[in-house]
Amino acid sequence: MKTIKNIADEFGVNVQTVYRRLNKVKQAENGDLTIKIDGVTYFTENGEQVIRDSLTNAEQQLNAVKQAESSEILFLREQVRELNADKTKLLEQIDKLTTHAENLSRLTENSQILLAQQKIESLPPSKFNLWNKIFRKKDNRE
């Protein structure tokens, strides 16, 4: 006969886990699963088998959950990698567009300057400029 501690050590769980599992199993089973001798709880042959089956099933369920979680985690990690790659591409495109926008701004500014110069050059020369007016008046006075 094994004690609660022996079973806990065998399955790598703590004593409280074995007691909780035992309480759940006792509700389902009608037979005596444990015996107390001198304050120490021992499993009967039937109790030991039932608790082993219960802990094994729980361990298998936990492993199944861990495997499902690990596959989900791998899937999510892959999605994160893909999203990071997409993010990097988008940032590169943003940099290129920013450079193109700056170039376009410079071109627009230069074309406006050229257009203004062309307008000035296309104006007919004025007949009288300010200096001519000043000097003609002097000439007329004399």
Q: At 10, is the secondary structure helix, strand, or coil? A: helix
* 122 pLDDT above the threshold of 80: yes
* 140 pLDDT above the threshold of 70: no
Q: How far is CA 33 from CA 2, 51, 57, 66, 91, in A?
A: 11, 9, 18, 30, 66
Every domain of the chain and the residues it spans: 4-112
d(CA 76, CA 70): 10
127 pLDDT tier (thresholds 50, 70, 90): low
Query: 28-76 pLDDT, tens per residue?
Result: 666 677 777 888 877 777 777 777 777 777 666 666 666 767 778 888 8
d(CA 63, CA 70): 10
Between 127 and 3, residue with greater pLDDT: 3
The rounded mean pLDDT for the chain is 80
Q: Write down the pLDDT at residue 30.
A: 63
100 pLDDT tier (thresholds 50, 70, 90): very high
Q: The whole model's pTM is what?
A: 0.38
